[in-house]
Amino acid sequence: MRIPFLTITLSCVVSVALGQAKWELTLAAGGWMYMGDLAPQRLPVLKETQPGAGLLLRHRLASTLSLRGSFLSGGLRGADDNIQNDDIREVRLIRFQSRLVETGLLMEWEPWAARRYPSRFQFRKIISPYVFAGGAWYANARTMDFTGMPTEGLWGQIRKDQASEYPKQGFTIPFGAGVHFDVSKRSMLSIELATRPVMHDYLDGVSYAGNPKRNDWYAFAGVHYSLRLTPRDRDNDHIPDRYDRCPTLPGVLSAMGCPDADGDGLEDLEDMCPKQPGPRAANGCPDADGDMIPDHVDDCPLQSGPSELNGCPDADDDGIADKDDRCPEQAGPPIYKGCPDVDADGIPDPDDACPEEAGVPEKSGCPYRDSDSDGIYDDFDECPDQPGLPALKGCPDTDGDGIADRDDRCPILAGSSALFGCPVISEEDKKMLLAARWGVEFETGSAVLKPKSAAVLDQIAVLMEKYPVHHLHISGHTDNVGKPDKNLILSNNRAKSCMAYLLKRNIAPERLHTQGYGHTRPIASNKTPQGRSRNRRVEFDLILPPE
């Protein structure tokens, strides 16, 4: 086992080595180009390009910024033959060549270089442009050729140039741009072009004979091949051998260079689960719930729990794991599988219909109750909210007629079971109602009651009070004299006149019902005056209302 701070220390020590290489050695090859008085329009002439080569040493200060030193050598060449201007060629025909050596120090900016190293342990080939600029010191050995000069022309200026002491060395400012092409993690190809202004006009030996107000320039275009100088790393795992505990086996930094198949920072030889990532505290085995108990010995691998419960949680702290606890949110004893028994009746609360009242098992934990205190338990009492009689299954019988109030349509009047608890109409009352059919009289051909009818209707009103539950059906009848439709209307109006009188005697309107039948229900022959007189009547019937 290795303590974490050793890994942290190693990370700090080798961070430079694990990132991009800090030093690069470069071989440069290309061509030197001259731009001056002996070049057309001050542009280089490709056919006059001279070979050159050199060495560069680059030091990366940051991912995008480098400092590089260079040593380059080659030659320059120019001639009036290349100038397509007859006026100049008639008076001047000079050639020159020189050997050039240059050493410089430049800053290089590669804006997209960071893409080359997406992470400390990863390298990616990229194509990356760059620009550079700096300072350089050069030495120039020049040779002039005047053999083609005309006899006349610019000899005066030529001699003046020859008499001048030209600088054989000097300072210049190289600047340019290029593109890097990664070949591998350790090598790179580059193409670049850089120009240099010279601080005088004697690079080509021509000034007075040319344009003394414009200094000469030269450029170098070439191909570079660079080797990145990285520490030895035999297993190519990006960890230098001197820091790698397993230098011949590819590994990772977190495992000090040794193999770590599951990437959990614990090398495979010390990892109890080398193919499954896990924390060091769990010996490298997975611990999904973070309770420091490896999943393969954790009874609840997805839920954090104490070791005494094999990694399972116990939300109510009753010593019973939630997976085995019937009441995981409420503490309870093992005898009830973790559930409480608040009323202590021996029935756990989930099974107790009355968890806060002690009860009996046969009532699922509830006690026997007698809500109306009639001596009959509610379980057997069909009227548990009203005191009643055992013979009526606990229901009351207010009128004492042996019919329970709930089944009695006249609960405050003793009656007959045949009439659903309502009283039987006496024979005397029946006779009175029968006699009333002819006792109520009307004015001829109208529905106006005669004064003597009031006594009969008063008796009926008294009878309605005697039988308060009953309703009264009043039906009007006529003889067959006259038109049937008029008789029907008359019979209906006469029945309503009787109802109007009873309403004045404070009989409830819902207890009164009327119907006119005209001459359709005779009780005697309409062929005799006596028969027609009997048929002109109003009948009164006491009836029980519908339930």
Single out the residue of 461, 476, 477 nearest to residue 511, CA to CA. 461
Q: Which amino acid is at 527?
A: K
Q: Which regions in the chain score pLDDT beneath 50?
A: 1-19
Q: Are 477 and 519 in contact (CB under 8 A)?
A: yes
Beta strands in 295-350 (DSSP E): none
Single out the residue of 129, 96, 109 nearest to residue 218, CA to CA. 96
Report how far residue 469's alpha carbon sits from residue 462's, in angstroms, rounded to the nearest whole number. Answer: 13
Single out the residue of 498, 500, 538 nearest to residue 518, CA to CA. 538
Rounded to whole angstroms, what are the CA distances from 135 to 107, 131, 431? 9, 14, 145
- Contacts (Cβ under 8 Å, ≥6 apart) of 332: 316, 318, 320, 325, 326, 338, 339, 340, 341, 348
Q: What is the pLDDT of residue 387?
A: 85
Q: What is the pLDDT of residue 491?
A: 92
Domains of the chain: 22-229 (2.40.160.20), 368-422 (no CATH), 427-543 (3.30.1330.60)
**If phi over 0 gives left and psi between -120 and 50 gives alpha, with beta otherwise, what is residue 125?**
beta
Report how far residue 193's alpha carbon sits from residue 265's, in angstroms, rounded to the nearest whole number. Answer: 47
Single out the residue of 50, 56, 96 nearest to residue 72, CA to CA. 56
- Contacts (Cβ under 8 Å, ≥6 apart) of 529: none
How far is CA 25 from its chain centroid?
53
